[in-house]
A and B are shown apart, each in its own frame.
Chain A
Amino acid sequence: MSEAVPVLELRGITKEFPGILANDHVDFDLRRGEVHALLGENGAGKSTLMNVLYGLYRPDEGEIRIGGKPVVFHSSKDAIEHGIGMVHQHFMLIPVMTVAENIVLGDEPSENGVLLDYGAARGRVRELSRSFGFAIDPDALVQDITVGQQQRVEILKALYRRADILVLDEPTAVLTPQEAGELFEILRTLSREGLSIIFISHKLNEVLEIADRITVLRRGKLVDTLPAEGATEAGLARLMVGREVLLRVEKTAATPGEPLLKVVDLHVRDERGIEKVRGVSFEAHAGEIVGLAGVDGNGQTELIDALAGLKRPEAGRVELAGRDVTRDSVRAHFDDGFGHIPQDRQRHGLVLEFSIAENVALHEFRTAPDSRLGWLHPRTLIERARRLIREFDVRGGGPETHAGALSGGNQQKVILAREIDRDPRVLVAGQPTRGLDVGAIEFVHRRLVEERGEGRAILLVSLELDEILSLSDRILVLYEGEIVGEFPPTVSEEELGLAMTGGMHAEHAA
């Protein structure tokens, strides 16, 4: 595998944005036929480096060499011409066009230079798809195929443009475990065919599974490039974060107490009148974390909304510590000991234009000592914020800093602080670590386990299987608005993945 000349070399790449050194003399090389993982936390400079490679940014210093020859890219077009193909995290596909049309878009085979030769396009897509073992129908509309297949379309798009270097930006973020497994198979086939692959990720287990070599970036600097063989998750995490990180949350066995949250045969419709929650029943007890797993869009949002009082259920009952709260307002829920970490922290969890002090007062500002007779006491708000900032290690500002100025991890800490400080009996956490980096994830996880120890009932709704598996004491799987299975935390990812995609459901039905 080791050749004299790497297919791609980045030498001393430096890219500075106002106030930030996004890449600081980064070296990177890619050998023919290898999968080279680029690992780092959010903001470590992975995306910047790849955007430099793809011609989207001009580096301030450094050079790019393809096959040993220095090149200068003025745009992504130049990069494509040099055989670089990029699969972005968010797909750049047109939903109403067919797979074949999407793939040839921008480089269409034509009749007489004017009309699209759809037959030729189809033929070439079919041929490509067959030679790399992609099971994909060129005539299907992109909007009708699964996310995993859409990703394959993106890969085909790059191959169609004769890419021999493929860059994948966080490719598994949108996939189920099964789909991720299929993607890895495809990547192995491609690398056997001689393609060189750059695999960007912040997930350690994936990187260890798929990569031949791993390059770790931290705060814009190259930390190390090492072979995947012999590397460990803990070792990589230390390189990424720069300190020891607890990957698996240390937790003792749960000692569940009385049931605090009881849901009985709940039915909820969404705005369009479609029934998204179809007869869900479960209990969460004091001192346990119940994980709710499921692929996005299977009724999680509607279920949480109904629990929080944001949405009236069609039928069914929600009990909070023995009290029926089904028809209570959002505010009444909070007053009755309900805590809620919304799934979308920027849209639903925080008023970004408000200061930290104002944000943490969201549930308390109406009552003394925050206010008396409708008159606010700003000093009380600020005192509380100062205490919570210390307690929850919120960095990047003081009580009067606007929430919008904080990083994602610190925004989430502000929400955690606000919800936990009210000593809720039930805490519903919707995707509490979405988009956070390893360090912040560790904090949120540790804190949730601590709160379990305080005797709260915690409902963890997450799309991340790792998170569900490492935190939950019991796991429920939500599929098409129904709970299709309950598992102990020792369940395998595969079994859970199967249930999440309806496998269990079919079994039940059979």
Chain B
Amino acid sequence: MSETVRQLPEEQLPVSPSTLERYRILQKAGGLVAPLLTVVLAFLISGVVVLLTTGSVVDTAKTYKGIFDGTGLDWFFHVGSYQIGVPFTSARVWFPWNTNDISSQAAANLEQTLLLWTALVLVGLAVAFAFRCGLFNIGGQGQYLAGSIAAVLVATELPHVVDLPGVLLILVSVLGGMLAGAALAGIAGILKGTVGAHEVITTIMLNWIVIWVGSYLFDVGGPLQTKAAGAAGAVPASTDIPDKAQIHVFWGDPLFQGLDVGFFVAIASLVVYYLTLNRTTLGYEVRAVGHNPEAARYGGIGVARNYFLAMAIAGTFAGLAGALDLLGWKFREDITDIQSSSIGFIGIAVALLGRNTAIGVGLAALLFAALQTGTASRSLDPSIFPPELASSLAVIIQGLVVLFVGADVIILLALGWLRRRRPQKAATAT
């Protein structure tokens, strides 16, 4: 049937586009509906898990309410009469929401969610950008770690060499992190472009290299382990970065992981991502290669070069995430964190759910960040939902979302199939 459609005389084509185009339209129409449906379904099925654990519908509802409140998103609903400081001045003006995270638990939670959002947006973009070039970047984790290791190195070692003002030190450290991420991912890009080594394999292997090199560097007795008095010999972590290398926290207390200005860098990165892909010659090449590497090659576009560039740019985003996290709230690299972090992998889910678009990645990152903070044990009532199960619940919901993201293509195909069946049935009936 698709054959018949494709071979139509040209005059009739706008009315009945090709199968490919119809599928595109379907996906576009489902652009908002399908991911939303995906998320709702994931929450419904997870609800069954909660129901089985708690044994009561009321407790299930309470658990979900607890998760929601834990995300801090309820902050927006607590409207009242508060004050907010005007940036760069000491003036305070009226504001409908309570920004004081000591008197408002919601504000404190929201800071946490947005802090995580910052990192997830960036690791999500790392996966999405490579995807637009037809590459599956599984190495976001390694690139993120490379970024944070490079940032901690620059921020702790550079002051011994030259005394830079804080802003410059931060800038150089962040650049170091981005460069490290780019270099790491670039290796996978070069291998893909030259010898055709599959990027899934190489990025996974590079992840492990970074994890174990990082562990070696900062482990007890490692070359870069902290030399701070008292800690040496006991703590498997790096030296703390100097205070002036800490990124400015604009909401909340820097000691309690307040929200730093890295948040705005993430927002800007979404814009940069969109513009690079859609408004630059680089983005044009990357997309051409992503859609059809053969046609790109026939058109004179260097495919290998674009594989390298796309991976390097992807790594830049992930490295940026690592650097911002380190300079924004971690302040030091610690090997338990290196070995247990999985933020780069959540980035894959973010890109998938967000369909590799800037807005999609922003929204998906918000969902996953909220899930993560919402299911933190402190936001759940221990008498209703066992806190030790809370983080598993987050993983279950995330897993289901990823599963259904993969399935939405099946849902679309099933819809199309049903539509084709119907006229045939009608014909049988007559």
Task: Report A's interface with B, CB cutoff 8 A.
Answer: 16-20, 22, 41-43, 47-48, 58-60, 219, 308, 310, 329-331, 333-334, 340, 342, 347-354, 358, 361-363, 365-366, 371, 374-376, 378, 395-397, 402, 404-410, 437, 439
- Indicate which residue in B18, B295, B428 contacts A58 across the interface (CB closer than 8 Å): B428
B24 at the interface (CB under 8 A from A): yes
Query: Is the Cβ of A404 less than 8 Å from the Cβ of B300?
Result: no
Query: Is the Cβ of A374 less than 8 Å from the Cβ of B7?
Result: no
Enumerate 23 A-B pairs (CB-CB under 8 Å) in ascending A order. Answer: A41-B9, A42-B7, A42-B9, A47-B4, A219-B9, A219-B12, A330-B297, A330-B298, A331-B300, A331-B301, A331-B302, A348-B295, A348-B298, A350-B295, A353-B291, A361-B284, A362-B299, A362-B300, A362-B301, A404-B18, A405-B13, A407-B6, A407-B13
In the complex, which residues of chain B have a beta carbon less than 8 angstroms from the beta carbon of A342? 298
B36 at the interface (CB under 8 A from A): no
B160 at the interface (CB under 8 A from A): no
B388 at the interface (CB under 8 A from A): no
**Minimum CB distance partner of A407 in chain B:** B10
In the complex, which residues of chain A have a beta carbon less than 8 angstroms from the beta carbon of B287? 351, 354
Within the assembled complex, what's the spacing in Å between the Cα atoms of A376 and B276? 10
B11 at the interface (CB under 8 A from A): yes
Contact with A along B118-151 (1 / 0, CB 8 A): 0000000000000000000000000000000000
In the complex, which residues of chain A have a beta carbon less than 8 angstroms from the beta carbon of B294? 347-348
- Indicate which residue in A219, A351, A365, A407 contacts B295 across the interface (CB closer than 8 Å): A351
A380 to chain B minimum Cβ distance, whole angstroms, is 12
- Indicate which residue in A43, A219, A354, A376 contacts B281 across the interface (CB closer than 8 Å): A376
In the complex, which residues of chain B have a beta carbon less than 8 angstroms from the beta carbon of A362? 288, 299-301
Query: Is the Cβ of B428 less than 8 Å from the Cβ of A48?
Result: no
Count of CB-CB pairs between chains A and B under 8 Å: 136
Given A347-B292, A352-B291, A375–B279 Cβ distance below 8 Å? Answer: yes
Query: Is the Cβ of A22 less than 8 Å from the Cβ of B298?
Result: no
B426 to chain A minimum Cβ distance, whole angstroms, is 8
Kindly identify, within residues 337 to 371 of chain B, every residue whose CB is under 8 Å from any CB belonging to chain A: none
Query: Is the Cβ of A365 less than 8 Å from the Cβ of B284?
Result: yes
In the complex, which residues of chain B have a beta carbon less than 8 angstroms from the beta carbon of A48? 4
Query: Is the Cβ of B282 less than 8 Å from the Cβ of A374?
Result: yes
Query: Is the Cβ of B21 less than 8 Å from the Cβ of A405?
Result: yes
Given A352-B292, A404-B18, A22–B6 Cβ distance below 8 Å? Answer: no
In the complex, which residues of chain A have a beta carbon less than 8 angstroms from the beta carbon of B21? 402, 404-405
A506 to chain B minimum Cβ distance, whole angstroms, is 36
Query: Is the Cβ of A351 less than 8 Å from the Cβ of B291?
Result: yes
In the complex, which residues of chain A have a beta carbon less than 8 angstroms from the beta carbon of B9? 41-43, 219, 407, 437, 439
Contact with A along B1-32 (1 / 0, CB 8 A): 10111111111111111101100100000000
Contact with A along B395-430 (1 / 0, CB 8 A): 000000000000000000000000110011001101
Most chain B beta carbons < 10 A, residue from A18, A351, A354, A409 = A351
**Minimum CB distance partner of B1 in chain A:** A17
Within the assembled complex, what's the spacing in Å between the Cα atoms of A397 and B292? 21
Within the assembled complex, what's the spacing in Å between the Cα atoms of A348 and B428? 42
Query: Is the Cβ of A409 less than 8 Å from the Cβ of B281?
Result: no
Query: Is the Cβ of B7 less than 8 Å from the Cβ of A397?
Result: no
In the complex, which residues of chain A have a beta carbon less than 8 angstroms from the beta carbon of B296? 351
B392 at the interface (CB under 8 A from A): no
B280 at the interface (CB under 8 A from A): yes
In the complex, which residues of chain B have a beta carbon less than 8 angstroms from the beta carbon of A397? 13-14
Query: Is the Cβ of B18 less than 8 Å from the Cβ of A405?
Result: yes
Within the assembled complex, what's the spacing in Å between the Cα atoms of A366 and B305? 15
Within the assembled complex, what's the spacing in Å between the Cα atoms of A48 and B16? 17
10 additional A-B pairs beyond A308-B298, A396-B14, A404-B21, beta carbons within 8 Å, are A17-B1, A18-B16, A20-B16, A43-B9, A334-B300, A347-B292, A351-B287, A376-B281, A395-B11, A407-B7
- Indicate which residue in A18, A333, A352 contacts B300 across the interface (CB closer than 8 Å): A333
Within the assembled complex, what's the spacing in Å between the Cα atoms of A48 and B5? 11
In the complex, which residues of chain B have a beta carbon less than 8 angstroms from the beta carbon of A405? 13, 17-18, 20-21
Within the assembled complex, what's the spacing in Å between the Cα atoms of A353 and B6? 15
Given A17-B4, A366-B281, A371-B281, A396–B299 Cβ distance below 8 Å? Answer: no
Within the assembled complex, what's the spacing in Å between the Cα atoms of A484 and B299? 31
Query: Is the Cβ of A352 less than 8 Å from the Cβ of B284?
Result: no
Query: Is the Cβ of A365 less than 8 Å from the Cβ of B8?
Result: no
Within the assembled complex, what's the spacing in Å between the Cα atoms of A366 and B299? 12
B216 to chain A minimum Cβ distance, whole angstroms, is 40
